[in-house]
Amino acid sequence: MVNRRRLLVGAGALAGAALIPGAASASAPVGARPARSRLDYPFTLGVASGDPLPDSVVLWTRLAPRPLELDGGMPGRDVAVRWQVSESESFRKPVRQGVAMARAVDGHAVHVDVKGLRPHRWYWYRFIAGSEASPVGRTRTAPALGTAPAVAFAFVSCSQYEHGYFTAYRHMADENPDVVFHLGDYIYEYAPGGYVAPGGNVRDHVGDEIRTIEDYRRRYAQYRTDADLQEAHAAAPWIVTWDDHEVDNNYADDIPENRDPGQGNDTTANFRARRAAAYKAYWENMPLRADRRAVGADMPLYRGFTYGNTASFSVLDTRQYRTDQPCDDQFPAGCGEEFDPDATILGNAQASWLEDRLAGSASVWNVVPQQIFFANLDGEEGGPTDDDPRDGGYADGWDGYRASRHRLLDFVAERGVENFVVLTGDIHSHYLADLRRDFEDESSPVLGTELVCSSISSGGDGSDRSSFWPLLQPENPHLRYNSNRRGYVSCRLDAETCRADYRVLDYVSEPGAGLRTDASYVIESGEPGAQPA
């Protein structure tokens, strides 16, 4: 087990590097940590890695000796940072090393795309600024084409800092997954107390509702100071995508949640500026390659990863290209707008890209990590006794964009895409759903499975079952499982099976909750639909 939280010192100072204000001198004796204020330490946000390929991975850190200040306590100049990658935690023989710049224009974030690595192999990495060394992180490259090893991964979403402690992240780190998928709502944009959990909030956001680049940077810094989150990032590479709260609740493309400028809300123009700030901060604070950097209010985030012949992962962006939600974004949505053939949740370019990946996949499992509920959620008022024939689905999910969902399910059916698995976050509860070509027809063939993870903390402690499960399940027999506890889903793929273990915590209102497995399911290759393990 890697000791991820150990701070390695005396690893060699970077000659000529611009020093962090207040940091120890580069002439400090090897192996000694000179007396200094804890706030002078530049690596307060920890380290991370991500977007693994068979021969490369992205390493990340961000210098912030005073992380809750708007500038992170950094000077307005670039700082040189040394990085090292080793096949052992001792770093006696680094296999790759170099110098990167923490640029002021990027909030002093560092992104290093390390190339020339070996496939499906664990590596250790660290950064050094002046005489200060970062915590040690561990990462793993993807397996190469032509190989088919088992792949262990976890997926998570929705970590509202105020609603609870991030204990689930630490438990996830202890599982040592090959890779972690974060499906959105990594941060929340609200002012302190702007979003209150049912049992009350247990921590406070710093600053008002975030709108500027400085605001977003500080909010990411506050979240990243959490020790459990740092532990999870240091344990394995992450593949990330956003949902709405990284910008603004339930936004759709360039349309904000609240659109009445007479009430002091966003106009389209100032929301584009806000989105540009949010997208830039997202890139700065995630282990993403340079080609994913935001350009103004646009950022190319959907992308694919091939894990040998075991799995093809097609990571989606269901926020940036969608049309406005139907039915004024109300639930249940049954106004008829959800059937608009011109409405889209992916945009044509992304939808075609996804179809090309699914059609060209040579992997056993075709996995689509994305943000919002894919299966039908018929939530008609009155539940199973309601005679209204209109569907009353979730306007912000795929229910609100039925033409997009029909297009994808028709493609899966007509092309014979096998072992189709959708990963979902957003809804703050665990679910499992059969994906039918026609959700209104129980005899319609099952084409795949949707695995839905609960939140890390959003919603507070929760309960064993969602309060609306008794109404949802009879109306939606394709929904097979639910838990309203906080947690994540741990998965294992091999040539024959996909196993999903739904991990839960009984509380997040205090730190230190234990972990248990609430349910486990197995999907057999070539047999659509999950069965209890």
- The number of folded domains in the chain is 2
439-450 pLDDT, tens digit per residue, is 989 899 999 999
pLDDT digits (tens, 9 = 90+) for 396-428: 999 999 999 999 999 999 999 999 999 999 999
* Average of per-residue pLDDT values in the chain: 90
pTM to 2 decimals? 0.92
Check residues 383 and 226 and name the one with the higher pLDDT: 226
Closest C-alpha among 127, 177, 140, 136 to residue 4: 136
**Which of the four pLDDT bands, split at 50, 70 and 90, describes residue 1?**
very low
Residues 132 and 155 in one domain: no
Cα separation values, 96 from 133, 185, 451, 480, Å: 17, 33, 37, 47
Domain stop point among 141, 163, 184:
141
Are 387 and 521 part of one and the same domain?
A: yes
- pLDDT of res. 333: 85
331: tokens are 């639930």
Last-in-domain residue among 74, 107, 141: 141
Contact 303, 288 (CB under 8 A): no
- Nearest 10 degrees: CA dihedral of 62, 64, 67, 73? -150
Q: Report DSSP letters for 5-37, one per residue.
A: TPBP--S---TTPPPPTTPPPTTSPTT------
Range of the domain at 234: 142-532
Same domain, 272 and 350: yes
332 upstream amide cis, omega within 30 of 0: yes
In this structure, the answer to whether residues 52 and 158 fall within a common structural domain is no
Q: Using one digit for the tens of pLDDT, what is the confidence trace for 360-370?
A: 999 999 999 99
pLDDT number for residue 35: 38
Same domain, 150 and 275: yes
If asked whether residues 350 and 499 sit together in one domain, one would say: yes
472 and 327 fall within a common domain: yes
**Look-up of token digits 């139907």:** 326
DSSP assignments along 429-489, one per residue: SEEEEEEES-TT-TTSPEEEEEEE---SSTTTTEESS-TTHHHHHHH-TTEEEEEEEEEEE
Give yes or no: residues 176 and 98 share one domain: no
Residues 121 and 196 in one domain: no
Question: What pLDDT, on a 0 to 100 scale, did the predictor assign at position 391?
Answer: 59
Query: Are both 88 and 161 inside the same structural domain?
Result: no
- 339 and 403 fall within a common domain: yes
d(CA 313, CA 196): 34
Q: Is the pLDDT of residue 262 over 80?
A: no
Instruction: Report the DSSP beta bridge partners of residue 530.
Output: 523
Domain-terminating residue out of 141, 173, 193:
141
Domain CATH for 167: 3.60.21.70
Residue 276 near residue 268, CB atoms below 8 Å? no
86 and 160 share a domain? no
**CATH number for 111:** 2.60.40.380
The band of 505, judged by pLDDT with boundaries at 50, 70 and 90, is very high
